[in-house]
Amino acid sequence: MGNVVNDTILTETLAEARSLANSGGLWAGLLGTGLLLGLTGPFGTFDDLSLPLRVAYWVTLSVPIYWVGFFTTFVIACWCEAWNIGPRSSVFIGSLVASLPITLMIALAHGFTFGAQPLPEMLRLLPYVSVISVSVSFLTEALAMPGNVQPAKQALAKEPAWLEQLPAELGRELILLQAQDHYLRAETPKGEALIRARLQEATEALGSYGVRLHRSWWAARHAITGLAYRNGVPVVILRDGRVLPVGRTYRRAVRTALR
């Protein structure tokens, strides 16, 4: 269980955070959000601070608020999906939980700046922050995962050395890997076999030959025809018509690989 947590939630959350941190658009968006909040002066700051101070106040708060909200929502949503809770419900639960530390941060900032009592201030702000947190999470989810099908390009990567682990009778045209306890079920057009290996290690060794879809699934890029959405859930469609789920922590990597 420890390996699953490290591989599918904590590690992937950090990977997603690093990817976001390298995006100039994210930082521009945070700056714009801080400026907008500074101009509008929500939660009583309009009357208590001058315009320059309001802008500085909210620009400063926007960065930690975003990252606390991101980490909390992402981890809680991943945990919920691991328990077979639907993606929309997972995002809703994650964003509600995230509203608690976000509200606490704002209440503490108000207490330091205006002398407000943190607990009453937190109770006052929590309903508003909860609505905003849920709305922003669903908007971000919608923008990050557009509901269209993108055809997969043929993989041009050199054949990885890992394919030598396949039994000779299966050939080298690997299609799928499925984690089964301490083994991998490897599938090619000629059949399937169990190989003693970990999916994480196989994924790293295979590189761009394929893409990990889920904590239990890996697929070769040449076997994938596209990315689609079924009832709001992202899936990949294989050339033989099978449909495989895409786990929350792997969605960005899958979109990038198939783009």
Locate the domains of the chain by residue range: 2-144, 150-258
Kindly report which listed range (52-66, 74-88, 148-162, 213-227) carries the lowest average pLDDT score.
148-162
pLDDT of the residue at 155: 42
| Token digits of residue 52 | 């320059």
pLDDT of the residue at 54: 95
One CATH from 2.40.40.20, 2.60.40.1180, 3.40.50.150, 2.40.50.1020 for 150-258: 2.40.50.1020
State how far the Cα of 169 lies from the Cα of 73, in Å rounded to an integer.
46
Per-residue pLDDT band for 89 (boundaries 50, 70, 90) equals confident
State how far the Cα of 174 lies from the Cα of 78, in Å rounded to an integer.
28
Instruction: Report the chain's mean pLDDT, rounded to a whole number.
Output: 84
pTM listed for this prediction: 0.67
Q: Is the pLDDT of residue 154 over 60?
A: no
